[in-house]
Amino acid sequence: MTGSAWIVQNLRAVRGRAYPRVLGAQREPSWIFFDVALPLLTVAAYIYMYKFMDAPKEFVGFVILGGAMTAFWLNILWSMASQFYWEKETGNLSLFLIAPVSRMSILGGMAVGGLFFTTLRASATLVIGIVVFGVTLSLSSPLMLIAIFLVTMVSLYGMGMMFASLYLLFGREAYNMSNLMTEPIYLASGFYFPVKALGYWAAAGASIIPITLGLDGLRQLFYPESSAQYGFLPVGTELVILVGLSVLFLILSKVSLDYMENLGKTTGRLTLRWQ
């Protein structure tokens, strides 16, 4: 197969895996309601708590932005990291392993489809939160905002690809690991408060998770007047670090997926449900 034919075939794999995720969610409208309404309950709880404490008004906007970004983190845990494990349970993993395409193109299609639907959910949560609680956002640099968001998504879904192979190797513990990582990441990444409040070294350690710096950068861009007080690092520095994390996680995902594939070929037992 020539190089161009191989690229076309992998792009078709991306489209094929993205298609059911873009259209499949529309077949069950109740999912959209619960995916938008339930995160708003958590957001409202934090907002009323901050209002009771007479916290600065920026914190209401911080919480709404964090609540919107939770949709992406949950999509990574449940629709990316656990994907190969669920495919193994349903008997589809062997088809993915023998398909004449890169495993990254399969996960890339899942990422594209998941990102499309998750962005709609996050946007709905953001808009409803802004309207209900009367939040005012002042965007200082639209181009930097787009750059921060896109690079955050690339690095975040790169992490999800890496977790996909690791979760598969851990077997039945994948479900428990997803549950285990949900709430601690909310705390460490500062979903409902500025991550700077954790202290410099704790925030620096949490920055290995891309959504930490991505969310901090978005908050600084929406609230430029308070970036010096609540921002962890300058936005430009965070963008450079996120680019580095994108490259790192994409490389690690390729290495881990190749290891998983080679393990399946040499042992012939990776696709068995009881492993």
**Averages of pLDDT over each 10 residues, the chain, 275 residues:** 77 81 69 73 87 87 88 80 74 76 80 80 84 81 90 89 78 71 84 90 91 92 86 92 93 84 68 48
Give me the number of domains the chain comprises.
1
Residue 134 lies in a domain: yes
Predicted local confidence at residue 187, as pLDDT: 87
In 10 A of CB 90, how many CB atoms? 8
How many Å apart are CA 182 and CA 186, to the nearest integer?
7
Alpha-carbon dihedral angle through residues 65, 48, 185, 38, given to the nearest 10 degrees: -80
Residue 160 in contact with residue 80, Cβ under 8 Å? yes
Predicted local confidence at residue 246, as pLDDT: 92
- Taking the model in full, what pTM does it have? 0.85
Element (H, E) at 42: helix 29-52
| Joined tokens for residue 95 | 């088809």
Predicted local confidence at residue 263, as pLDDT: 73
Task: Report helix, strand or coil for 34.
Answer: helix
From the list 89, 125, 90, 83, the residue with the least C-alpha distance to 108 is 83
Residue 188 in contact with residue 181, Cβ under 8 Å? no
How many Å apart are CA 83 and CA 9, to the nearest integer?
21
How many Å apart are CA 84 and CA 204, to the nearest integer?
31
Residue 167 lies in a domain: yes
How many Å apart are CA 68 and CA 21, to the nearest integer?
19
Residue 272 lies in a domain: no
How many Å apart are CA 46 and CA 55, to the nearest integer?
11
The residue segments making up the domain with residue 119 are: 3-267
Residue 273 lies in a domain: no
| Joined tokens for residue 31 | 């999912």
Task: Report helix, strand or coil for 74.
Answer: helix
Residue 81 in contact with residue 163, Cβ under 8 Å? yes
Residue 182 lies in a domain: yes
Element (H, E) at 142: helix 142-170
Task: Report helix, strand or coil for 56.
Answer: coil
